[in-house]
Amino acid sequence: MSFDIFLVCLDHGNVATFPRSFVEAAFAPFIESRTSTSWKLADCLADVWIGEEEVETDGFMVSRPPGGENHPFWAALLDIMCRTQTVLHWPSDGPKPHAVVANKAVIAHMPPDMIEALGVPAVVTSPGEFLERISDSDEL
């Protein structure tokens, strides 16, 4: 079974976009292979699904994100989130929240039904906090 995480850009309750080049630059040093819609990351099983070669993107999905907090993926993800108005979320039946932001101001741009479903996101400030927050939401 695969675990997936989703990054989405929001503006006043609506899906918005940001430059795809932010994602490309952040992940480029450890992209092992590419297709038109996905990138396989080095030193892990992760695939980044970002869609066609558009100039702007509304976000991306990562299937099987790296399990170790020291993988450069997590620092790159934090860099992207610090530069964009994005929320990272994941499926979970455990305690909320099932989402994080890098900037608390982004929470105001989330639609109410998203907050109801995921909980009020935690704010992450370091790469190691991603796996910690994901693990916290899986505890029963």
CA 43, CA 31: separation in Å to the nearest integer?
10
pLDDT surpasses 80 at 101: yes
* Inter-residue contact 100 to 5 (CB < 8 Å): no
* Inter-residue contact 116 to 94 (CB < 8 Å): no
The pLDDT tens digits for 50-70 are 988 789 999 999 999 998 888
In this predicted structure, what is the pLDDT of residue 139? 54
Q: Residue 123 corresponds to which tokens in the numbers above? A: 């704010």
Residue 84: burial class (beta carbons within 10 Å; 0-12, 13-18, 19+): buried
What's the chain's average pLDDT?
Answer: 93
CA 102, CA 124: separation in Å to the nearest integer?
5
In this predicted structure, what is the pLDDT of residue 140? 37
Count CA atoms within 13 Å of residue 7 on its CB side.
31
